[in-house]
Chain A
Amino acid sequence: MPSAIEAPVTDAVWSANPYQPHAARIVRIYNMVENNHLFTLRFVDEDIGLSFRHRPGQFAMLSIPGTGEAPISISSSPSRPGVLELCVRRAGRVTNALYRMKTNDLVGLRGPYGNGFPVTEIEGHDLLLAAGGLGMAPLRSLLWYALDNRDRFGRVTLMYGARTPADMLFREELVSLVDRTDMNCLLTVDTDPGSVWKNHVGLLPGLFDHAEIDASRTFAAVCGPPVVYKFILRKLLDLGFRKDRILMSLERRMKCGVGKCGHCSIGYKYTCLNGPIFTYWDAINLPEMI
């Protein structure tokens, strides 16, 4: 045949397919908070596990075969490789299906995606992590990254508020940080119905009274529901934070994770490629961002 068309190129969908989920086994399911379980996953193929290197703040696409796919932040730190931890809130089809699964079941995973926190930029500076409610999930990776590389960061402060102690993600783990002297771990709950809580009680912004923060040498990473942004951002600006040193993790609908499907587009940025970590300056420039 007089043709210049080359041999089949469909091999590409086999070898370099960015949409290809890889089998991962659920090695542990930990019921942290009602409908907020921590799933520990390990890739079945060790090579894939080794080549999967994420930055704090990045996310993965989690597949439940036959049900669908959803973006989930990676809650574990790259400084603790081998397994990935996903803190998943039961919210819809995919997450419901995940909650039906048991230890040893297989799911699909691909990634890591997104920009993640600019850790190399943050290194050498103080770090303030401020989270409300479920916002702790994406920040936890950064927290452990900083603690595991303690010498590369200045002062590390965590402020985390939940409604009640029972709603606090990673509670035991975080409570155990309160006594650490190389960081300031401030935990608060809005109310303490069982009167068991030994830490702060009160709204999240109140924690600023217990923290020593020098805005000129600090990066702030903020994540939480809209009210958290509202109050924390105001506080940070009052303290004199530079707008491009306030980092936020955003949620959008996502179908591909790699800048094709269009769903996570915010004006002229893709949450999956240019985000999910955006600075406050981005937020001012991007309409409909928060």
Chain B
Amino acid sequence: MSKPTAGIFGLTGCAGDQLVILNCEDQLLDLVALIDIRDFLMAGSANDTGCDLDIAFVEGAVMSKRDEQALRRVRARARTLVAIGTCAVWGGVAATDESAPRDAWLEEVYGPTGADYDSLPARALHEVVQVDYQITGCPIEKDEFVSAVANLLNGDAPLLPQYAVCVECKFRECGCLLTERGEVCCGPMTVAGCNARCPALRIPCVGCRGPAADANFASATAMFTEGGVSPQDVARKLRTFAPQGVQQ
């Protein structure tokens, strides 16, 4: 059986998810032995930019016409398209404020030429093309990526948790930042998979992985406002990485 072909692509983002792939130091050589990575601009210069792909991993949000075209091209080439990272899955930090006056901001940051930029409000991949699987995380977790690849190679859908960060926080028996310290921790609304990284360091979760399947934003907002945080600040906080999730 010939090796499945794959491409790794980045739209507008921080390249963190591609970097995490390169950070799989222990598995990298196995990975390239198992899949034929034909198109990975960040890591190589001899890319086949037109071939069909069994799997395409796409990072970043769609933030320009150029991104949109690139994504459509990748979709047309790929049998399976996997969104990697919170930007690709939910829009990410750049999507946090959809009511932002973009034109004014562009001009403010880039000067008078800003207005001419090819710039669109951030969208997640699934808003533009059909996405087969989503691996969230800002950035994605190495383990989740590697096991998702293992599943995909077997022909199975990746198995990813849908429950909240609290579950893993309890697994690790960390002190609860909400009940014990009254902090604004987004753990109950945020999907697990990071092994409760932040609470384990006594740092409140900022929700970088996007919402858990059963997130109850209305109740969470009430909980935080009762704790003395202004509704506006709560809304901002909950929207930081995945504003779409809050709307749902």
Q: Summarize B's interface: helix, strand, loop or mixed.
A: loop
A93-B157 in contact (CB<8A): yes
- Nearest CB in chain B to that of A65: its residue: B154
B158 CB, min distance to chain A CBs, angstroms: 10
Expressed in whole angstroms, the Cα–Cα distance for A240 and B42 within the complex equals 74
Q: Is B226 an interface residue (CB 8 A)?
A: no
Expressed in whole angstroms, the Cα–Cα distance for A67 and B159 within the complex equals 10
Chain B residues whose C-beta falls within 8 Å of the C-beta of A66 in the assembled complex: 154, 156
Q: Is A97 an interface residue (CB 8 A)?
A: yes
Chain B residues whose C-beta falls within 8 Å of the C-beta of A93 in the assembled complex: 156-157, 159
Chain A residues whose C-beta falls within 8 Å of the C-beta of B155 in the assembled complex: 96-97, 100
Q: Considering the complex, which residues of chain B in the window 143-159 have a beta carbon less than 8 Å from any beta carbon of chain A?
A: 154-157, 159
- Nearest CB in chain A to that of B155: its residue: A100
Q: Considering the complex, which residues of chain A in the window 54-108 have a beta carbon less than 8 Å from any beta carbon of chain B?
A: 66-67, 93, 96-97, 100
- Nearest CB in chain B to that of A67: its residue: B156
Chain A residues whose C-beta falls within 8 Å of the C-beta of B154 in the assembled complex: 66-67, 97
- Nearest CB in chain A to that of B154: its residue: A66
Expressed in whole angstroms, the Cα–Cα distance for A96 and B154 within the complex equals 11
Expressed in whole angstroms, the Cα–Cα distance for A97 and B159 within the complex equals 14
B155 CB, min distance to chain A CBs, angstroms: 6
A139 CB, min distance to chain B CBs, angstroms: 31
B213 CB, min distance to chain A CBs, angstroms: 15
Chain A residues whose C-beta falls within 8 Å of the C-beta of B157 in the assembled complex: 93
Expressed in whole angstroms, the Cα–Cα distance for A66 and B151 within the complex equals 8
Chain A residues whose C-beta falls within 8 Å of the C-beta of B156 in the assembled complex: 66-67, 93, 96-97
Chain B residues whose C-beta falls within 8 Å of the C-beta of A67 in the assembled complex: 154, 156
Type the 1/0 row for B157-196, where 1 means its CB is closer than 8 Å to any CB of A: 1010000000000000000000000000000000000000
Expressed in whole angstroms, the Cα–Cα distance for A215 and B154 within the complex equals 52
Expressed in whole angstroms, the Cα–Cα distance for A96 and B151 within the complex equals 13
Expressed in whole angstroms, the Cα–Cα distance for A67 and B156 within the complex equals 7
Expressed in whole angstroms, the Cα–Cα distance for A96 and B155 within the complex equals 9
Q: Which 5 pairs between the two chains have the least Cβ-Cβ distance?
A: A67-B156, A66-B154, A93-B156, A93-B157, A100-B155
- Seen from chain B, the residues whose Cβ lies within 8 Å of a Cβ on chain A are 154-157, 159
Question: Would you list 13 pairs from A and B whose C-beta atoms are within 8 A, ordered by A residue?
Answer: A66-B154, A66-B156, A67-B154, A67-B156, A93-B156, A93-B157, A93-B159, A96-B155, A96-B156, A97-B154, A97-B155, A97-B156, A100-B155
Additional pairs, 11, CB under 8 Å, beyond known A67-B154, A97-B154: A66-B154, A66-B156, A67-B156, A93-B156, A93-B157, A93-B159, A96-B155, A96-B156, A97-B155, A97-B156, A100-B155
